[in-house]
Chains A and B, each alone.
Chain A
Amino acid sequence: MSVIPDGRLADLSNEEISRYSRHLLLPEIGVEGQRRIRAAKVLIVGAGGLGAPLALYLAAAGVGVIGVADGDFVEASNLQRQIIHSSKDIDRPKVASARDKIRALNPDVNVAAIGVSLTSANAMEIIKDYDIVADGTDNYQTRYLINDACALLGVPNVYGSIFQFEGQSSVFYAKEGPCYRCLYPSPPPPGLVPSCAEGGVMGVLPGIVGTIQAAEVIKLIVGGNDSLIGRLLLFDAWKMKFRELKIEKDANCPLCGEHPTIFAPIDYERFCGLKKTADEKPVETITALELKARLDNGEKIQLIDIREPHERAIVKFPDAKTIPLGQMSRRAGELNPDIDAVFLCKIGQRSVFAIRALEEAGYAGRMLNLRDGVNAWARDVDKNLPQY
């Protein structure tokens, strides 16, 4: 069943018949399918690694209206994978760059460049104008928001997610199958799983996963069977393996189960644990300049570099003891609790988890987190070092 109602279909022009002939030749798509593609309105949330192939392939396919929502600006480190942006787009809004590329590729596409992040306040209003949403975001708050808003509005959510070499894709369509909450009722506590900014990501991975999403979008529009509804596709680019797992609808799902309790978008910052709770003991921090001053004073400090060996090869931190995060608890005995310990990583996020792991392991010494990590040291102290 196509998600595009028959009433919106119009005839194809001769130019369109030529342009889309390779689709028309497929009996599964054909003239009617292409008319549906032209009538379709698809919202892509996130103009990044996943959004880039999504936008380009959906534009090439002739999707009538493509909305692109993203509040970010293009950075140099995006260009390794976000192929809709170019070097000359650095510092431009991502949606402006994406809009230009879509128009150049296919001027018949009507592009809505939405230069803001989706929030609980605007999501329902934005999504209600679309037939399908493709989730190309990079954070849990927006993923749950998209899931909830789509289920509440009855819109299918074509999901893709990536980390390092591994991707996931599915179609969450609460009318016909499970939603994201049926699979993952709650997100990980912040930072427990490292981000791509810290863990890295193979550049072609979002190209593959985003293209899978684009294929699922086209199938929902045309009315193909065998969509990813109720199936979780796992992809490992390093082993070059696909696996498929079943996702069942959860009768107790608070959103799409038998007794729902969610009827409007909620506070996702709170839901994802990003608001500090009163009983959480704060981690002590030290800035790069403060650390430099203490070292120059000759103070005894244990510097603990929690990065992996391959990461230390990018930028070495002088005179630090190396204990990778994944070995912290079992190597707690190597630290001297009588001397202040300063923990450092790339941007000062994983080092917080090293401190938390040692707290849980019962380490009693004073622990400080190097704020903004080795990148801050490169920015404020030793300007010869690169930031990465």
Chain B
Amino acid sequence: MAITILIPTALRAFTDRRGEVQAEGKTVGEAVASFAKAYPDIRRHLYEEDGTLRSFINVYVGEMNVKNLDGVDTRLKDGDTVTLVPAIAGGRV
């Protein structure tokens, strides 16, 4: 299933500055994994060492947080848009 993933500016250094990338998957987890495979440098920003998605990045399908749906198992349909919404703080690390 063709999925569009919207990349926030904070993560675009790892997607060759692209704000929108195409991915494949029947679920949110599969779509994000297919995207991370295409851009390996983003992996450590998306995943904890145990393979779960990092908690400072929220994943939305439409306007709903997948935390309030079925998490990474949330089903996607062809043409869905997945948005990554990381915490941003501003000036300092």
Contacts and interface: CB of A to CB of B under 8 A. Distances in A.
A184 B63 contact: no
A388 to B, nearest CB: 15
A140 interface: yes
Contact of A245 (B11, B16, B63): B63
A79 interface: no
A204 interface: no
A49 B88 CA distance: 14
Contact of A232 (B9, B68, B85, B91): B85
B13 A324 contact: yes
B89 A246 contact: no
A261 interface: no
Contacts of B11: 193
Contacts, number: 125
A19 B87 CA distance: 40
Shortest beta-carbon contacts, A-B, top 4: A138-B91, A138-B90, A326-B13, A163-B88
Contact of A193 (B44, B64, B88, B91): B88
Contacts of B64: 245-246
Contacts of B83: 243, 245
11 contacts: A49-B90, A49-B91, A161-B88, A162-B88, A166-B88, A193-B86, A245-B85, A246-B63, A246-B68, A250-B67, A327-B41
A191 B87 CA distance: 12
A140 B89 contact: yes
Interface residues of A, number: 53
Contacts of A327: 41
A330 B86 CA distance: 23
* Interface residue SS majority, chain B: mixed
B54 interface: yes
Contact of B87 (A184, A234, A329): A184
B8 interface: yes
A247 B87 contact: no
A166 B9 contact: yes
Interface in A192-217: 192-197, 199, 201
Contacts of B1: none
Given A184-B58, A328-B41, A329-B40, A196 B90 contact: yes
A357 B39 CA distance: 14
A245 B61 CA distance: 10
A163 B41 contact: no
Given A165-B9, A186-B55, A193-B11, 6 more contacts: A137-B89, A138-B92, A195-B92, A196-B90, A326-B14, A326-B41
A69 B49 CA distance: 38
A256 B32 CA distance: 30
A260 interface: no
Contacts of B54: 188
B20 to A, nearest CB: 10
Contacts of B35: none
A186 B40 CA distance: 24
Interface string B1-34: 0000000111101111001000000000000000
Interface in A144-171: 161-166, 168
Contacts of A195: 89-93
